[in-house]
A and B are shown apart, each in its own frame.
Chain A
Amino acid sequence: MAYFKVENLVKYFGGLAAVNGVSFEVQKGEIFGIIGPNGCGKTTTFNMISGVFPPTSGKVIYQGREIQGMKSHKICHLGVGRTFQVVKPLGRMSVLDNVTAAAFSRVNTIREAKEVAEKTIAFCGLAPVKDVLAKALPIAGRKRLEITRAMATQPDLLLLDETAAGLNPTELLEAIELIRKIRGNGTTVIIIEHIMHLIMTLSDRIHAINFGQSVAEGTPEEVAANPQVIEAYLGKDYA
């Protein structure tokens, strides 16, 4: 039994098929990359997995359990955490309060929640800014807050949606290091990313999507050499 898999996911918005047949399997403990050109349906796939909206058809199976169509908060309690590509900081709350709110998904008292939050903040390297209001953070901080908050829900499977977009080279290296640390912790990671350096370095396997359909899957080298992937990114002439 696969640890996590999606089967033939389809999502129509009106007459438009945003996702039209995406299937993949993820093994426990791996970093699984998803790539594809803009608008190919990567984030839509994440939204279906994390319960933002139900798929039109298809299945999402997590630890042997079908979770498609469940509400987001239920999926979070099952152990699937996510970050948002367009960051959603709880602006008028401090970093610590943001993470504390997330920590309450596993514990009930303020004391425990703060303890979990402090630990997670230290783990993710946000300790120096923990009393800053979330809306005052620069973009790198907000991206990191997304990860920290998701980690405070103590996920078994973490979905990262372009957490490295907009980072400078130093911040990028820090992000790579953090994602490695998260995996080292035993968390399985599915990551959407456009920054090839990051996704090629980190991923154990990569899945490529184009026009809402799965087109290739394999190790980073295999996918980079796949003609359909090259066509999707660079055009027919290079394929």
Chain B
Amino acid sequence: MKKTPVAAIVAVAALALLPLVLADNYFLHLLILFLIWVIIGSSWNIMAGYTGQVSFGHAAFFGTGAYTAGLFVMHGGFSAWWGMAFGGVAAMLLGLPFGAICFPLRGAYFALASLALNLILMHLATIAERFTGGMQGIMIMPTFVSKVPYYYITLGMAVATLVVVQSIIRSKWGYYFVSIREDQDAAESLGIDTNRYKNVSLAVSAFFTGTAGALYMNYMGFIDPHVVFSLHDYSVMAILVAIVGGVGTIYGPAVGAFIMVGLQELFRSGFFGLFKYLGDRTGSETFTQVMEVVQHAHVLVFGILVVVVILFLPNGIVGDWGKIRKSVFGSKPAA
């Protein structure tokens, strides 16, 4: 099998050195978000991209991890960092009975069940006020003032996730996952316990997503049910990250995370303040109005982007890289 591509090693090295030259909080924050999305996207990809069990509800695992960390502080008075150890485990414990019940469902039915799981947890976290704080959410004191420690922790976890994903995909498990995706009945006939391996992929996926959730709690210091169990901010975004980057490719979700976090920020900030700047300079009301529209348009742009990617690059940017190179650089043969 292929070795780890040089580009990935260079990217990790560059990211590791970056805070030494660029200690700007704003960029560090964006990079931390990007890295968290690398973790979530790669986790979603293990289960949906490789094993073919599409989840519409990954926020369930993300939120479970985040709440595990938050509840450690709220009830035990422990450090929220304990959540990093147990958030993933808690998400996995949620995933296993869910998988046992729902994996006999195939295709769209399983996806709908995962959507239901997401909504059930959101409501549970809202209703169980005494235990979770309900709509008020959980607020904790951040451990570090500087963003640099968070940055390195997230970077370490993102790299660890990718390394684990890569080694799983290149092992027996990886072959089994892809076989199940390609044809479940054929996989069964080849001696693959399809139910068991679907659960294995769910457990791995839930674990890393949950850990990302715990990390989010530590970093952001505040969660509430509608933030961490959010359907469009997490469940759908996880799908977009993987689709844009490349479903069923190891580095696809990392590339997708970079693009999606970048795009989201581009629109949220009104093209990094361009409209505000133009508005201030010209004194024209129009720019301010345009900015407001742009700020709300990011969901629309995500939608258009996904349609374009599915139409022209069905395997995502990483999966169709050969095709992109060909059309951008002309006749050069694809590697």
Report which A residues bind B (CB closer than 8 A): 50-52, 71-73, 76-77, 81-82, 84, 88-93, 97, 100-102, 104-105, 108-110, 113, 149-150, 152-153
Contact = CB atoms under 8 A, between A and B. Distances in A.
A21 to B, nearest CB: 26
B207 interface: no
Interface in B140-170: 170
B104 to A, nearest CB: 12
Contacts of B1: 110
Contacts of B185: 52, 72, 84, 88
Given A52-B185, A88-B183, A73 B194 contact: yes
B280 interface: no
A102 B178 CA distance: 12
B172 A102 contact: no
A90 B171 contact: no
Given A104-B172, A110-B170, A76 B178 contact: no
A77 B193 CA distance: 10
Contact of B176 (A51, A92, A104, A110): A104
B192 interface: yes
A76 B189 contact: yes
Interface string B162-205: 00000000111001101100110111111111100000000000
Contacts of A105: 190-192
Contact of A101 (B170, B192, B193, B248): B192
Nearest to B194: A73
Given A73-B194, A76-B188, A76-B190, 12 more contacts: A51-B188, A73-B190, A84-B186, A97-B178, A100-B175, A101-B179, A104-B175, A104-B192, A110-B171, A113-B172, A149-B186, A150-B190
A49 to B, nearest CB: 11
Given A88-B183, A92-B182, A101 B175 contact: yes
B189 A91 contact: no
Given A88-B185, A93-B182, A110 B191 contact: no
Given A110-B171, A110-B172, A73 B182 contact: no
19 contacts: A72-B185, A81-B189, A84-B185, A84-B189, A89-B186, A90-B179, A90-B186, A91-B182, A97-B175, A101-B192, A104-B176, A105-B192, A108-B172, A109-B172, A110-B1, A149-B190, A150-B189, A152-B190, A153-B190
Contacts of A89: 182-183, 186
B78 to A, nearest CB: 40
Contacts of B193: 71, 73
The 5 closest A-B pairs by CB, nearest first: A105-B191, A76-B191, A88-B186, A90-B182, A72-B188
A73 B175 contact: no
Interface core residue of A84, A92, A104, A152 (most chain B CB under 10 Å): A104
Contact of A73 (B170, B171, B178, B191): B191
Given A72-B189, A149-B190, A101 B176 contact: yes
- For A50, A92, A109, the residue with the greatest tally of chain B CB atoms inside 10 Å of its CB is A92
A92 B185 CA distance: 16
A88 B324 CA distance: 31
Interface in B265-302: none
B319 to A, nearest CB: 10
Nearest to B315: A92
Contacts of A113: 172, 175
Contacts of B183: 88-91
B189 A90 contact: no
Contacts of B175: 97, 100-101, 104, 113
Contacts of B186: 84, 88-90, 149
Contacts of A104: 172, 175-176, 191-192
Nearest to B173: A104
B335 to A, nearest CB: 15
Contacts of A88: 183, 185-186, 189
A76 B193 CA distance: 10
Contacts of A84: 185-186, 189
A37 to B, nearest CB: 25
B192 A73 contact: yes
A67 B189 CA distance: 14
B191 A153 contact: yes
Instruction: Tell me which of B171, B189, B194 has the highest count of chain A C-beta atoms within 10 A of its own C-beta.
Output: B189
